Structures are given as structure tokens and as C-alpha cells.
Amino acid sequence: MTRLDPAAFKPEHFRWEFDRGVATVTLNRPERKNPLTFESYAELRDMFRALVYTPRVKAVIVTGAGGNFCSGGDVHEIIAPLTKKDMPGLLEFTRMTGDLVKAMRGCPQPIISAIDGICAGAGAIIAMASDMRFATPRAKTAFLFTRVGLAGCDMGACAILPRLIGQGRAAELLFTGRFMTADEGERWGFHNRLVGAEELMSTTMEMARSLAAGPTFAHGITKTQLSTEWAVSVDVAIEMEAQAQAICMQTQDFRRAYEAFAAKTQPVFEGN
């Protein structure tokens, strides 16, 4: 079990800030539009895995430095070496990148992507795997795997993207690799909200702080159910939710909410 001290964590391949329950992860190679490397993929994966055991972190923001979100895998540091790998080496890489999405979906904290500028390839996947996405009008999102001769079915895109924007729209983006505009993204349901560039981080932080101040144990249950109920019948989903809600009714946060309601005050949640 990997433990992460959010106050002392110093990642090597991205920036980390932690304040009042909210962790902000900033991809920080602005001169290249924040591409990922083998090492940053792995460090992000390990961080999200560790967040399962880090209840002090109650919400996570992912963003990019310098006016762009993420341009995907670094052409020189990832794509060039991949052309020289054998099949076991290639499968090791693709499973590792998929594990990043699994780790994002598996951690109980809500994840919000704050997207400005280019959001492409693996960057688009990170945004897709987040629980919410706030973007600026400059945001341009592309699942551009087909442009480098690959299939659109990368890191869960064929499973998750249609659930966000619909099968036909997802098929168009995955077949063509074209950029989805910010307006399209909001209209199709990919972006939760469009805000000006100068308001992006403050708006995202406001949402993150609101979530961090809420019943965070229950938020983790909600996130789990949103993921697991994709693959079950409605009857099974209803029973799963009955059991999940009964668990939440045993928490002190549930009692605190009732007592605050009775006293006509605002509840103070503590995540237990």
C-alpha cells in the first residue's frame, strides 16, 4: 500500500499543490504544450493509486501550464521509441497508459480537469477520465490517434467517450482525429462549463472546494457507482445503490446533516 503525504509530496514530473483538501496537479512542460513521457505517465498513475489511501485529499484538479492542457505523448520521447519496441514492450506500454485511466476512475476523490488551449491525445484521455471538465473558449480537444496510424480505441476511449457525448459523435472524433471546439464540447456534454481564461482556475477551485467541504465519503460512493453501474442491469443497479446508500446512512456525516437541519444551521461534513 503506497502512502502519500499531500503536504510533503514532491513529484518529479509535474507540479503539485495542496490546500484545504484540494490537490492541484499541473502538467508543467509549457514550451512543448505539456506532453507526457514514459516517466510522467507512470508517476501520474502511481499518484492516483496512492490517493485511494489519502483521505486528506478530498478533490483533485488537473490542469496544464502556459495556456495549454496537454498535447499528448511526447513525439520524441514516446512515439519514436515505440517504433522500435517489440510486441511485449508495446503491450507493456499500452497497459501502463490504460492503468492511468483505471487509477483515475478508481480513486475516490472527484477529479476536475481545467482545460485551456490544446487538449489532445493522452491529454484528451485524461480530461475524458476526469469526473468534470471546465474549459475556456480556446480549448481544442482531439483524440488524434488515427493521425499517427493508430486506432481510436486507446486508454478506454471507446468505452467512456460515447457515454459522455453519444456514440455517433464519439465515432466521428475517434475516426477522424479532428479537434472538437470548446462550443461543441459544451453542447455535446463533454465540458461541464465554459469560462474565460482568467476565470478558469478560480471557477474550478470553487467547485473543488465545494466538493471538498461536502460528504467526501459519500462522494467516493457516488463515483464508484457512476463507474460500476455502466455494466449492470437497472435492477442490479438499484440493489447496488440500496446497499451503497445504507452504508452512507451509517456515517457521522449523515447524522450531522440531520442535526444541522433540525437546528436550522449548515452541516459541517468531515468525511466519515
**pLDDT tens digit sequence for 206-227:** 999 999 999 999 999 999 999 9
End-to-end CA distance of the chain: 21
CATH number for position 88:
3.90.226.10
What average pLDDT does the structure give for the chain? Answer: 95
CATH number for position 226:
1.10.12
Strands 140-142 and 180-181, by their bridges, are antiparallel
Q: How many domains does the chain have?
A: 2
- The whole model's pTM is what? 0.95
Report pLDDT digits (tens) over 249-272: 999 999 999 899 899 999 999 998
Range of the domain at 190: 15-212
What's the CA gap between 44 and 99, in Å, rounded?
A: 10
Confidence of residue 75 (pLDDT cuts 50, 70, 90): confident
Q: Are residues 198 and 101 in the same domain?
A: yes
Strands 132-135 and 140-142, by their bridges, are unpaired
Confirm whether 90 is domain-assigned: yes
Q: Are residues 28 and 110 in the same domain?
A: yes
What is the mean pLDDT of the segment spanning 49-55?
A: 96
Report pLDDT digits (tens) over 117-135: 999 999 999 999 999 999 9
Confirm whether 134 is domain-assigned: yes
The set of residues, in sequence order, having a beta carbon less than 8 Å from that of 175 and lying 6+ positions away, is: 146, 152
Q: Are residues 222 and 140 in the same domain?
A: no
pLDDT at 1: 60
Q: Are residues 190 and 257 in the same domain?
A: no
Confirm whether 246 is domain-assigned: yes
Does pLDDT of 166 surpass 70?
Answer: yes
What is the mean pLDDT of the segment spanning 178-190?
A: 98
Q: 59: how many CB neighbours lie within 10 A of its CB?
A: 27
Q: Are residues 100 and 125 in the same domain?
A: yes
Confidence of residue 80 (pLDDT cuts 50, 70, 90): confident
Q: Are residues 181 and 142 in the same domain?
A: yes
What's the CA gap between 188 and 144, in Å, rounded?
A: 18
What's the CA gap between 258 and 265, in Å, rounded?
A: 10
Q: Are residues 144 and 206 in the same domain?
A: yes
What is the mean pLDDT of the segment spanning 150-155?
A: 92
Q: Are residues 174 and 40 in the same domain?
A: yes
- For 226-261, letters b (16+ CB in 10 Å) and e give eeeeeeeeeeeeeeeeeebeeeeeebebbebbeeee
What's the CA gap between 201 and 114, in Å, rounded?
A: 7
Q: Are residues 238 and 254 in the same domain?
A: yes
